Amino acid sequence: MYLSSFLASVLEQSAPILLAALAAMITLRANILNVAVEGMMLVAAFVAIAVGSATDSAALAFFAAVLASILMSQLLALMTLRFSADFIVAGLGINLLAAGGSLFALEWFYGTPGGLRPITFPDIWHVAPGSLSFIPVIGPAIERQSIILILAFIAIPLSAVFLYRTPTGAYLRAAGEDEHAARAAGVSVVRMKAISLAISGLFAGLAGAQLAMDKLHFFLPEMTSGRGFIGLAATLFGGGHPWVTAAASLLFGFFGALGDRLQAFSLPSQFVLMMPYIAAIVGLTLARWRIHVRNRPARIVVEGSA
């Protein structure tokens, strides 16, 4: 029983990280380091609560949140792909815009700079308690989880199939791996990058909606608390491969859940919270180290010859 309740909190912690990681992964495959996941998540969380409290409809809140996040991703696509803004700078701009915009809306429209706490908020669909208890350990852990969490885990195989088994996925990867070759082969690199950003917005929107709508039902300006960056870390840790990325996300979710339990043993929570970020730096360094050692004799540099 204890095991499945721990597993449930691992899943709960992992879901937004997993979605953020998939959001960063899909753009990484198109050769975009997406630092804007955090901002898109925040916008989705805010819109979910704002629309949900205004319309009292969970479905409307959900779709509005995802739509808002996709719109943010397309704003980023417009600035970077059409007006050739720098991806990192413009991505940080999206984060600042999301944070500033939601704070501005809170202060101006709602008059509550601290956050938005509607008195009533519609519930999103959760797995019915008891419906899966015939499966040992895992069943009870999935019960009471939100539909978005289920979607997050379905998104892993879906994105793997998309990337490796569909023409669009192949074009997208081609655009990411060698822009010039892809263009020569007739692939519209700009369109592929825009598509990857849109999918990224979709996943980030799901992540934000999960944060706001699963249990909390309120919005705080610091709600995403770096989960977009943990997701980015997981993606880089997983080298942009769906299954490895998902495994890294689960590992980080495990650390998060473990951190919650360890606080009872007076281990400073800050050190537990640091783990994903340290893991990302160490993981990246080790990955580069392997490549470095492998390539040490006679490295041929082809970059920039076009």
Partner 1 sequence: MTAARFKNSVRAMYAPIASILLTLALGFLLVMAITDDPLQAYRDLLFANFDSLGSFALFLNRATPLTLIALGVIFSFRAGIFNVGGEGQLYAGAIAATVIGVTFAGLPAIVLLPLALMGGILAGAFLGWVPGVLKVRLAVDEVVTTLMLNIIVLLFTSYLSNQVIRDTKSYGAVSEMVPEKIWLPALPGVPGATSGIVVAVLLASATWVVLFRTVWGAQLRASGTNLRFANAVGIPADQRIIVAMLIAGGLGGLAGVLYVLGIGHRFEQNFSPEYGLVGLTCALLARIHPIGALATAIFYAMMINGSAYMQISTDVPRSLVDLLTGLLVLLMTARLATPKTRS
Q: Can you give the binding site for partner 1, defined by CB under 8 A?
A: 33, 35, 75-76, 79, 83-86, 88-90, 92-101, 103-104, 106-108, 113, 226, 229, 232-233, 236, 268, 270-271, 273-274, 277-278, 280-281, 284-285, 288-289, 292, 301, 304
* 8-state DSSP, 113: T
Rounded to a whole number of angstroms, the CA Rg of the chain reads 20
Residue 259 token pair: 């951190």
At its nearest, how many Å lie between partner 1 and the CB of residue 22? Answer: 17
Shortest gap between Cβ of 28 and partner 1 (angstroms)? Answer: 11
Nearer to partner 1, 128 or 301 (CB): 301
Choose between 152 and 233: whose C-beta lies nearer to partner 1: 233
* Closer Cβ to partner 1, 205 or 228, answer by number: 228
Q: How far is the CB of 242 from partner 1 (least distance, A)?
A: 19
Nearer to partner 1, 169 or 221 (CB): 221
Q: Which is nearer to partner 1, 135 or 291 (CB)?
A: 291
Tell me the closest approach of the beta carbon of residue 38 to partner 1, in angstroms. 10
Q: How far is the CB of 267 from partner 1 (least distance, A)?
A: 11
Q: Which is nearer to partner 1, 8 or 22 (CB)?
A: 22
Cβ of residue 96: shortest distance to partner 1, in angstroms?
A: 4
Q: If you search the block for the tokens 């804007």, which residue do you land on?
A: 36
